[in-house]
Structure 1
Amino acid sequence: MASCKEETTLLGVVGSPFLHRVQIALKLKGIEYKYLEDDLNNRSDLLLKYNPVQKMIPVLVHNEKPISESLVIVEYIDDTWKQNPILPSHPYQRALARFWAKFIDDKCVIAAAKFVLMVDEKEKEKASEELSEALKFLENELKDKYFAGEEIGFVDIAAVFLPMLQEVAEFQLITSEKFPKLFTWSKDFYNHPVVKEIMPSKEQLFVYFKARAQSLTAQGKN
C-alpha cells in the first residue's frame, strides 16, 4: 500500500470537471498532494513532459510516474490507496460502474458541453436532445442517494460535470420535474462535504467554461 508521504503532484486547471474528478478521489482517500495550475492556452513544460501525447490535464504524477485521463487516474488512486474504496469490490459491479462512467463520457459530457458552449442554435438544440436522451438512462439507473448507494463512488465522480454545468448554464439542465432523482442527486452530491470543499466558485467556473467556449469558437473558424 502506498504511503501518504510519497510524492504526489496533480497538474490541472481550476474549473475543469476532469480535474475535480481526481481531486474528489484524492480527498475521499485522504491523500495529500501538490497542486500545480496549468494554462491550456500556454501549456507548461511540465505538462508537455508528463503528457506529451495528449498535452491535456489532468495529470497525476506519483513518484515521478505520470498518469493521464481523469477516470484512469481515479482508478489508479483507488488501486493504490485501499482506504475508502471508490469502485465496488465485486467484479460485476465494478464492470457496471466502468460502463456507466464511460456512458457519461461518451453520451453526456460531449452533448452537455456543446449545449452550454455552442453559439449556433441548431447545434444547441441537437445537443439538448442528445443530452436529454442520455439523462433519461442515468435517471433510471439512479436507485439510491448516490449511484454507488449511500456513499459517493466511481459513477458519481464521473458525473461531477452535471452539477458544475448546472451552476453556469443559462437555465437548468436538470429540472426536478423532468429528472427528479438526478435533480436531488446533483444537490446532495454538490453539497457533500468532500465535494463542496473542492468545488471552485461560480466565478471560476464561468472563467473556465468561457475559455473553453472561446476555444471551440476559434476552432470552428479555422
Structure 2
Amino acid sequence: MKKNCSINCQNRVGRLLKPVVTHFDRYRTNGLVFLSTRRERTGFTLLELIIATSILSIIALLIYPAYRASSRSYQLSVVQSNLQQNARIGMKKMVKELEAGMVVIPEESDDAKGEGSINYGYKRGEPYKMAFYAWNSTPGTSDNDKIALYTALPTLNTEPEDPAFSSEGEEPLLYVRRYNSSEWSDPEPLILSDVKVTQLNFIMGGDNENEILITLELAQQGPLKEWRTFKLVSAARLGAR
C-alpha cells in the first residue's frame, strides 16, 4: 500500500515538473542560439566594410583640397620670406661697401679692368655693375684698392652679366670682388644660391652727387614651378662712413 502511494506521488510530481523542465530547456536553447548569434556578429560584414570605405573616401576627398591649399600657401610664404631675407642681406652689404668707398670708377678707366676683357667700371647703359675706389685709396694711382659689385653666372663668376638678358635656366647671382694693390681676389657671393638676380641697377646722382640709388630684384621658383619675385630699392652715399 505504501509502495503504491510512493509511486503515485512520484508520478504526480513528475507530471507537475514536466512543464517547468520543458520551459527551462526551451529558455536554455533560445539563450544558446542568442549567444551564438552574438558571437557570429562580432565582425563586420562585407556590406558594412564597403559602406565604411566609401565614407572614408568621401571624407578624404573633402579634406585633401583644403590640405593641399594650406600646404601650397605655406610653401609660398617660405619662398617669399627667403626672397625678402636674401634681398635685404644683399642690399645691406652693397650699401655698406658703397658707403665705405670714395669715387666711382668709369668704364673707360684702366683701373676698372679685370683679367682679359673683363671691365667692372660704371656705365649708365650697363647699370648691373659698378667699381669704386676704397676709402684708403688715392684716385689716379695704379696700386689703389678697388671694389666691384656686379651680377654674374656662378660658372663665370668673375665676368659681369646683365641679369635682364640671361637665358632660361641661367641663375645670375650677386657678387663683390676686391682689388688689393696688385691683384683681384676671388668673387664673394652676397646672396644664397637658391635665388637668382633678375634686376640690378646702380643709378648715380639724385639729391646728392655722391648718392647712388640701388634697385635689386630677386626671383625663386615656387611650389608649382612658378617664379616669385621680390624687389628692394635703397640708396647709399659714397664716403658716408
TM > 0.5: no
Which structure: greater helix fraction? Answer: 1
* TM-score where L is the length of structure 1: 0.22
* TM-score where L is the length of structure 2: 0.21
Higher relative contact order (CA 8 A, sep 6+): 1
Of structures 1 and 2, the larger Rg is shown by 2
